[in-house]
């Protein structure tokens, strides 16, 4: 009968091994940690755990920042790759454009401008230039500009009193840009005033 009363009476003491204490209560703590003799040791371990948590959080913040930088750098590299992916083949086509322009000039001098073959060459050149425009290839404006070694390659100097020094007076070969990157510098002659 006493066993029945113990099971029915919630206030009756129960077996300490099966009893679960409410969360956050002192019963959850191991008995040896409650011993006053372990007090300083417990405090020291708690402080070490806090310091370790701070170090771990700092590492997490650094890794998170590094990962964000990595994502941004990768996105920039992919954008640059897409932007300049055709640089090599477009650079090779510049020689074809040069030859077509020379053929047109020679044709105009030898057979005149009203020639079907010459018109066909002009149409081919226009088509290639249209493709260049589609891929953001633009010519470098050199003639009459101040010499800029970033965009021009000087192959000669010539005396010219009517223009300021270091002005591009002749263009032997056109330069081209792919977006904002130099595909080929313009080959130019630069003024050098006589004294």
Neighbours of 169 (CB within 10 A): 20
Q: Where are the domains of the chain?
A: 34-84, 86-135, 137-195
Q: What pTM was estimated for this model as a whole?
A: 0.61
Strand order in the sheet with 186-191: 152-158, 186-191, 168-173
| CA 98 to mean position of chain CA atoms | 33
Residue 76: phi, psi to the nearest 5?
A: -65, -45
Predicted local distance difference test score (pLDDT) of residue 111: 82
* H-assigned helices in 29-176: 39-84, 87-110, 116-134
Residue 194 has pLDDT above 60, yes or no: yes
The per-residue pLDDT for 48 is 93
Q: Locate 124 and state its tokens.
A: 């081919």
- Please state, as a whole number, how many other Cβ atoms lie within 10 Å of the Cβ of residue 121: 18
| Pair 175, 155: CB distance under 8 Å | no
121 touches 100 (CB < 8 A): yes
CA distances from 49 to 27, 44, 56, 66 (A): 22, 9, 10, 25
Mean pLDDT across the stretch 44-61?
Answer: 93
- Give the per-residue pLDDT at 16: 47
pLDDT digits (tens, 9 = 90+) for 84-127: 888 999 999 999 999 999 999 998 888 877 888 899 999 999 99
Fold (CATH) for 137-195: Nucleotide Exchange Factor Grpe; Chain A, domain 2 (2.30.22)
Residue 167 sits at φ, ψ, to 5 deg, of -100, 140
Instruction: Please report how many Cα atoms fall inside a 13 Å half-sphere around the Cα of residue 191, on the Cβ side.
Output: 18
pLDDT tens, 30-42?
Answer: 555 555 555 568 8
57-60 own/partner pairs: CB under 8 Å, 24+ apart: none
Residue with tokens 């996105």: 75
């Amino acid at each position: 009968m006493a066993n029945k009363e113990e099971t029915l009476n919630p206030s009756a003491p129960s077996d300490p091994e099966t009893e679960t204490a409410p969360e956050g209560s002192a019963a959850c703590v191991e008995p040896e940690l409650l011993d006053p003799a372990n007090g300083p040791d417990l405090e020291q371990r708690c402080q070490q755990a806090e310091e370790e948590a701070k170090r771990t959080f700092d590492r997490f913040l650094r890794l998170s920042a590094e990962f964000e930088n990595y994502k941004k750098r990768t996105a920039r590299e992919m954008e640059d790759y897409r932007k300049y992916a055709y640089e090599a083949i477009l650079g090779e086509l510049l020689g074809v454009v040069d030859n077509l322009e020379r053929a047109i000039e020679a044709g105009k001098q030898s057979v005149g401008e009203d020639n079907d073959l010459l018109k066909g060459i002009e149409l081919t050149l226009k088509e290639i230039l249209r493709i260049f425009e589609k891929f953001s290839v633009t010519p470098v404006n050199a003639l009459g500009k101040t010499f800029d070694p970033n965009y021009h390659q000087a192959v000669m100097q010539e005396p010219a009193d009517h223009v300021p020094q270091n002005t591009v007076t002749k263009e032997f070969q056109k330069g081209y840009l792919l977006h904002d990157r130099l595909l080929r510098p313009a080959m130019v002659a630069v003024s050098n005033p006589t004294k």
